[in-house]
Amino acid sequence: MIELIDIHKSFEGKQVLKGVSLSLGDGETIVILGRSGCGKSVLLKIILRLLKQDQGSILIDGSDTTRYREEQMMPVRKRMGMLFQGAALFDSFNVGENVAYALREHTKLSEEQIGAKVAECLEFVELSGTGRLMPSELSGGMKKRVALARAMALDPVYMFYDEPTTGLDPLTSRKINQLIRKLQTERNVSSIVVTHEIANAFQVADRFVVIKDGEILMAGSAAEIKGSKLKFVQDFIKGGIISDGGQ
């Protein structure tokens, strides 16, 4: 279980997160919805401790990681898989090498065992046999699936998805959403998905958290979101996407 308590974060005097508290239960998928620039990616990076919050604490399985030194954080981070915004594959590595990366860095598995694990992860994302392709040879949807295979290589307990479907067509998005669901149902992975695409959010979420102006505007089930009287929530349900007009 992950608990965020009163997380604050500013950059150069500009407050991005103004006291965000939320919890992620075992095997649960929560979707964080909010406009572009509202701090969704920052929040994920704070959980992974790629960024440090100014105030507030993060409890992971009951331990306050806020006080952890970098070397104490490593085993915690190995239990977490992150699908970064834009997939972020290593362009000079082929697909197999991308998926094998964390296994080579963080385990003592033999090359044979690594090969078997890479094949298992590629099969999970339905990309068996693509190990020798280079990222430049893949479509956007395939890149996301390779990034997912890479993120799941260490058998994470927690997965974080940053805009997993942005820029993909509806059918390809559906495929990614099915994979997110499959990790949850087959491996009991607990997940946080951040997105500004409401239609995709409904396909994966057990619970929604809406962020506005650095604070949680509302949290609830799909029915509660759909029934919300809040104009901000209604506007983006109608619009299908949360837009600030700038995109």
Ligand X SMILES: Nc1ncnc2c1ncn2[C@@H]1O[C@H](COP(=O)(O)OP(=O)(O)OP(=O)(O)O)[C@@H](O)[C@H]1O
Residue selected from 1, 26, 37, 128 as contacting ligand X according to rule CB under 6 A: 37
Residue selected from 143, 150, 196, 207 as contacting ligand X according to rule CB under 6 A: 196
Query: Which residue number, 49 or 196, has a Cβ lying nearer to ligand X?
Result: 196
Q: Does residue 51 interact with Mg ion by CB under 5 A? A: no
CA distance 38 to 214: 6
Q: Of these partners, Mg ion, ligand X, none, which one is at the site of residue 34 (CB under 5 to 8 Å by kind)?
A: ligand X
Query: How many residues does this entry show for the chain?
Result: 247
From the CB of 146, what's the least distance to ligand X, in Å? Answer: 21
Residue selected from 15, 36, 57, 107 as contacting ligand X according to rule CB under 6 A: 36
Piece of the chain touching ligand X by CB under 6 A; list 33-41, 62-70, 109-117, 141-149: 33-41
Sketch the per residue contact string, 80 through 119, with ligand X: x for CB under 6 A, - otherwise.
Answer: -----x----------------------------------
AA letter at 24: L
CA distance 70 to 57: 16
Q: Which of 210, 216, 205 is nearest to 236 (CA)?
A: 210
Q: Which residues are registered as beta bridge partners of 63?
A: 60
Residue selected from 10, 41, 55, 66 as contacting Mg ion according to rule CB under 5 A: 41
Contact 125, 147 (CB under 8 A): no
Residue whose token pair is 């239960």? 25
Q: Does residue 88 interact with Mg ion by CB under 5 A? A: no
CA distance 211 to 78: 28
CA distance 12 to 6: 20
Q: Does residue 38 interact with ligand X by CB under 6 A? A: yes
Piece of the chain touching ligand X by CB under 6 A; list 40-48, 103-111, 121-129, 217-225: 40-48
CA 109 to chain centre: 26
Q: Does residue 86 interact with Mg ion by CB under 5 A? A: no
Other Cβ atoms closer than 10 A to 18: 17
Piece of the chain touching ligand X by CB under 6 A; list 32-40, 112-120, 167-175, 212-220: 32-40
Residue selected from 7, 30, 33, 42 as contacting ligand X according to rule CB under 6 A: 42
Number of residues located near ligand X, criterion CB under 6 A = 13
Other Cβ atoms closer than 10 A to 90: 11
CB contact set of 79 (below 8 Å; sequence gap of 6+): 154, 156, 157, 158
- Contact footprint for ligand X (CB under 6 A): 11, 16, 34, 36-42, 85, 163, 196
